[in-house]
Amino acid sequence: MNSRATTGPGLGRRRFRLHPAQAVAAGFAVTVLLGAGLLSLPIAKVGPGGASFAEAIFTATSAVCVTGLTVVDTATFWTPFGQVVILLLIQIGGFGVMTFASVIGLAVVRRLSLRSRVTAASEVRSVGLEDVKGLVLGVVTISLIVEGVVAVLLSLRFLFGYGEPVGQAIWLGVFHSVSSFNNAGFALFSDNLMGYAVDPFICLPIAAAVILGGLGFPVIVQLRKHLRSPLLWSMNTRIVLAGTVTLLVAGTVYITAVEWSNPATLGPMDWPAKILAGFFQSVQTRTAGFNSVDIGAMDSASLLGMDVLMFIGGGPAGTAGGIKITTFAVLYFILVAEVRGDGVVNVFGKRLSRAVHRQAISVVLMAVFVVVVSTAILMVLTDLTLDVLLFETISAFGTVGLSTGITADLPPAGQVILILLMFIGRLGPITFASALALREHPVAYELPKERPIIG
């Protein structure tokens, strides 16, 4: 008898099992549908009747994929019940659906099956099955600690700085803390955070949570263990930290300089407020999506620079989106090695695996393809300009959530494009492609080599 046979009368049939990448994609899809169902209930929407399916599915996708793009005003359209549903979807999406399921499994049976470890490992990008349990528990612990600290800081500020009632201050603190650490960008104010653009006690805790969430859980876990021992940091940790600092500084300088005299954004502020707002907006382009200035009023040059930052994104295996800092860094080091004529690519004293070269190139090419095709379709569907459509497309794909204000005005087909972009962007192009493949096809032979002319 075939040992792999069987559920049912037919012996010899293989049991149907999802590939780990397929399981991750299916988990996110099911969570989105469940969230959309809850948001469609009349109790979730202010006023008579429930939200339309289009409104519910877009909001649920944006929350689970921790993006922040919206077609309705989160502050006024949804009831407290609807806002709680959005908060839970953000938290589950930030943890990762399979990571969240693993946590439930650990809480109930206090162990993970091999299948659960393999699936969770594919989602959190673990390097080995033996460390999955520790990494999963680390994800939960770190998330709750950071969210708790930031929630307390924000709640106190809303309470004593703005005179909010105690309950409302706590709710605002908790919601924006979870939304920021998970890089979601949902806010409970109709103008997002524009009303707090010059308040460092609101902007800086949110920015700190966004940065920490964008580092990626493997980096945070390693820093927690070896913060004072940089020699023990992995190549991944070093690349993410160096890239994060570089992009944050470059983004702050660029956005602040371009918008310095813009009367609709930074122009009316004094110079400390301009630097704060420029820094805050640079942080948000790392896939968070909050805005303290009017994105639609920003200079086209600023939008282009933010396109680049959103496309790169944050660290892998965290709450950030984009192609990831590590992917961009690998391409940079490959370029440097080619310019120098080096036979291998060395990064921080280590040789880079050639398999990583192919993965990085594949991710970038697939990402560019998805963004270009989606932007072209939106240009056909609307009369909007290239700069705002490209910004919207990259924001959705990078799970950023920043918008020039056109999301709700897009036709239904355009909003479907954004839903697909958010889903693909959260899973990652390679994971999404793997989820669509029914099986792997190993090749038992190699073809002869030949080199085309390059350049």
pLDDT per residue over 255-283, tens digit each? Answer: 999 999 999 999 999 999 999 999 999 99
- Can you tell me which residue has the tokens 């349990």? 133
Which is more confident, 437 or 346? 346
Which residues sit opposite 346 in a β-bridge?
Answer: 351
pLDDT tens column, 230-260: 888 989 899 999 999 999 999 999 999 999 9
Q: Is residue 102 part of a domain?
A: yes
The count of domains in the chain is: 1
Cα–Cα distance between 400 and 204 in angstroms, integer? 18
434, 424 Cβ separation under 8 angstroms: no
Q: Is residue 5 part of a domain?
A: no
Q: Is residue 8 part of a domain?
A: no
Helix axes 354-381, 325-340, angle to 10 degrees: 120
Cα–Cα distance between 369 and 136 in angstroms, integer? 33
Q: 264-273, 284-293, 414-423: lowest mean pLDDT where? A: 284-293
Q: Is residue 12 part of a domain?
A: no
Q: In the prediction, which pLDDT does 218 show?
A: 79
Query: For residue 417, what are the domain limits?
Result: 20-435
By C-alpha distance, which of 243, 397, 370, 211 is closest to 311?
A: 397
Q: 129-138, 365-374, 421-430: lowest mean pLDDT where? A: 129-138
Burial class from Cβ neighbours inside 10 Å (0-12, 13-18, 19+) for residue 166 reads exposed
Q: What is the average per-residue pLDDT within 36-60?
A: 95
Q: In the prediction, which pLDDT does 446 show?
A: 80
Q: Is residue 133 part of a domain?
A: yes
pTM above 0.75, yes or no: yes
Mean pLDDT taken over the chain: 86
Q: Is residue 450 part of a domain?
A: no
By C-alpha distance, which of 196, 200, 204 is closest to 164?
A: 196
Banded model confidence at residue 10, pLDDT cuts 50, 70, 90: very low
Which residues sit opposite 347 in a β-bridge?
Answer: 350
Cα–Cα distance between 88 and 354 in angstroms, integer? 40
Q: Is residue 269 part of a domain?
A: yes
Please give the DSSP secondary-structure letter assigned to residue 196. Answer: G
Tokens for 126? Answer: 């673990």
Q: Is the pLDDT of residue 43 over 60?
A: yes
pLDDT tens column, 360-400: 898 899 999 999 999 999 999 999 999 999 999 999 999 99
Q: Is residue 452 part of a domain?
A: no
Contacts with 381 (C-beta within 8 Å, 6 or more apart), sequence order = 410, 411, 413, 414
Please give the C-alpha separations between residue 352 and each of 296, 326, 343, 360, in angstroms, as whole numbers.
Answer: 41, 12, 11, 12
- Can you tell me which residue has the tokens 């293989």? 14
